[in-house]
Amino acid sequence: MNTSSNGILDVAIIGAGLTGMYALHKLREEGHAVRVFDRADGVGGTWWWNRYPGARVDSPGAPFYCYTFSEDLVAEWEWLETQPDQPAILSYLNHVADRFDLRRDIQLATSITDAAYEEDSGLWVLATSKGEEVRARYLISAVGTLSDAYKPAFDGLASFRGEVYHTGHWPQDHDVDFTGKRVGIIGTGSSGVQLIPIIAESAAALTVFQRTPQYVLPARNRPLAEELKTLAKENWPELRERAVATGRPLPKAQELAVEASQEERNAVYEQAWLTGGMSLRDCYGDHMSDPEANELVAEFVRKKIREAITDPDVAEQLLPYYIFGAKRLILGTGYYEAFNRDNVSIVDVKKAPIVCITDSGVETSDGFYELDVLILATGYDAITGGLTSLNPRGRDGVRLRDVWSKGVQSYLGLAVSGFPNMFIMHGPQTPAVKYPMHLGAELQGDWIAGIIRHAKNGGFDTVEAQAAMQPAWGKEVAAIADRSLYSKAESWYMGSNIPGKPRQFMVHLDGPGYHRRIHEVAESGYEGFEFSKADVAAESDAYAAAVLS
Ligand code: NA7
């Protein structure tokens, strides 16, 4: 293990997904002894786990869904499609791991089972599933925003005698064969929507248990145009700069839907529908801020759904009537068309909820559906679940889950008072999923490297967010959400998908503003953080005791 001379890591990182990999690269460059732990057998995080057929990127895709820090990396990697699929993204992440020689400091197939801050030494003490004890000065959570799979507690689920799969834990070692089987799928989020048309092709019957209809936009995945590849490779510094400043590498539409004539608007919407991806959301600048504009685009999608589905009763069940985009928009391929097949049916489980799962199928309040395969496409305890399931212990043994029991409290989303030397990447109260993921990881990774450097240069062992900074930060994040339309619907951004989870908008919606802000905090000498020195004698005593035990 790469450690300092005293056997203690400078930094332990949990998670070898795209955030943890960048943090490792950056911190190692700064000369730290770093080790990454991941429970998976390979790097890639979410992209390692999500192997269900049809899994592909559902945000503006290639050539921009990638790291931005290395122009050489951009120049040498060839994206082939506009919406790369899971194998393509995983190959890319594996390439990055090799290209930057990351693997020598990544320990795979290892869960962190406990993480406790030790007051005397000012160190984090981690226990691993391999029975090791690891001591590190700093702990970085890079556990991912969609990593803690949510399996609803359906009565009788364990008694089901057929095959059961969760999309986030798809089998690694074999393909799932649906041929001739009666398949049920619960959940119509991005995972369900990507999977449904594929299962429909081979299953004898597919029953879709839908709770909330979605706005599914056409992905229109296609070979990536040569001009776009060249544009990215030749203009990377400018594109990166624009992405940092605006959250998008390409310019954003400024025109307003509410100011366009109906004829103009329809032409723009039809073109965006044909182009696919997130074009429809992005073709006007007011869709996500003005309820009137939002309803215009929402009604356009409803019209498209009615046109796509031959049976008007089925179409009616698939029509969403809440704010367009407030639940994460979905990119699908042949999703609505799948419901025109004779072997696909839809069951509205909002109207007639699932009562239980029996040994042979799903029982709802108005029917029974016999199944050979049951798929849970039921999502994640998003944004906080990865970290709260680890439930680290901070000062005085206080558990993070207890501190967050009524809602997340943090400073800048990067640190929590009472948890010294612990930093969170893509955590709650950061832009996380609402900003380019790789770029956000780089900016946060650089910031964390900066604060650790600052502490080291000042001879400090401990960095901690001041408790007094947290309420204002929480208010700032909430105020931005309240001004937008994102907080006006039930979604996993709000924690609404998990029973009992505090309702709180968890994402900082002004990504560029957020990154300016954390930069200013760094420039100010890390205002809001307390730097202190640990008791060095206690530290070496504690280490000696650990070595001797
Ligand atoms: P999502 O988007 O959280 O979708 C989960 C789906 O499961 C959604 O349709 C839920 O309905 C449904 N669900 C959850 N619990 C139940 C119960 N108890 N009964 C019936 N239906 C249920 O997860 P995904 O994996 O699809 O996507 C996650 C993200 O990954 C996605 O946004 C992309 O960024 C990639 P609900 O809408 O809550 O009524």
Q: pLDDT digit string (tens) for 47-101? A: 999 999 999 998 889 999 999 999 999 999 999 999 999 999 999 999 999 999 9
CB atoms within 10 A of CB 412: 25
Average pLDDT value for the chain: 95
Collapsed DSSP state (helix, strand, coil) of residue 227: helix
pLDDT mean over 373-395: 97
How far does residue 168's CA lie from ligand 1's centre (Å)?
11
Q: Which amino acid is at 135?
A: R
How far does residue 494's CA lie from ligand 1's centre (Å)?
13
For the cut 80, the answer to whether the pLDDT of residue 15 exceeds it is yes
For the cut 70, the answer to whether the pLDDT of residue 549 exceeds it is no
Ligand 1 binding pocket (C-beta < 6 A) is: 58, 146, 152, 167, 186-192, 209, 211-212, 328, 349, 354, 377-380, 492, 497
Q: pLDDT digit string (tens) for 428-466? A: 999 999 999 999 999 999 999 999 999 999 999 999 999
The predicted structure's pLDDT at residue 129: 98
For the cut 80, the answer to whether the pLDDT of residue 6 exceeds it is no
For the cut 80, the answer to whether the pLDDT of residue 543 exceeds it is no
Nearest CA to ligand 1 atom 37: 212
371-399 in b/e burial notation, b at 16+ Cβ within 10 A? bbbbbbbbbbbbbbbbbbebebbbeeeee
Q: pLDDT digit string (tens) for 371-383? A: 999 999 999 999 9
The predicted structure's pLDDT at residue 203: 98
Nearest CA to ligand 1 atom 20: 211
Kindly write down the DSSP assignment for every residue of 404-467, as one continuous string: TTTS---BTTTB-TT-TTEEESS-TTB-GGGS-HHHHHHHHHHHHHHHHHHHHHTT--EEEE-G
pLDDT mean over 177-204: 98
Q: pLDDT digit string (tens) for 217-266? A: 999 999 999 999 999 999 999 999 999 999 999 998 999 999 999 999 99
The predicted structure's pLDDT at residue 548: 41
**What percent of the chain lies above the pLDDT cut of 90?**
94
Q: How far apart are CA 527 and CA 521, in angstroms?
A: 6
How far does residue 211's CA lie from ligand 1's centre (Å)?
9
Nearest CA to ligand 1 atom 17: 152
- Check if the beta carbon of residue 166 is closer than 8 Å to that of residue 373: no
Structure tokens at 250: 């390409």
The predicted structure's pLDDT at residue 54: 96
Give the CA angle between residues 473, 474, 477 to the nearest 5°.
85
The predicted structure's pLDDT at residue 52: 97
pTM for the whole structure: 0.95
For residue 63, cis peptide bond before it (omega within 30 degrees of 0)? yes
**What percent of the chain lies above the pLDDT cut of 70?**
96
Give the CA angle between residues 259, 260, 263 to the nearest 5°.
155
Q: pLDDT digit string (tens) for 90-145? A: 999 999 999 999 999 999 999 999 999 999 999 999 999 999 999 999 999 999 99
The predicted structure's pLDDT at residue 252: 86
- Check if the beta carbon of residue 182 is closer than 8 Å to that of residue 362: no
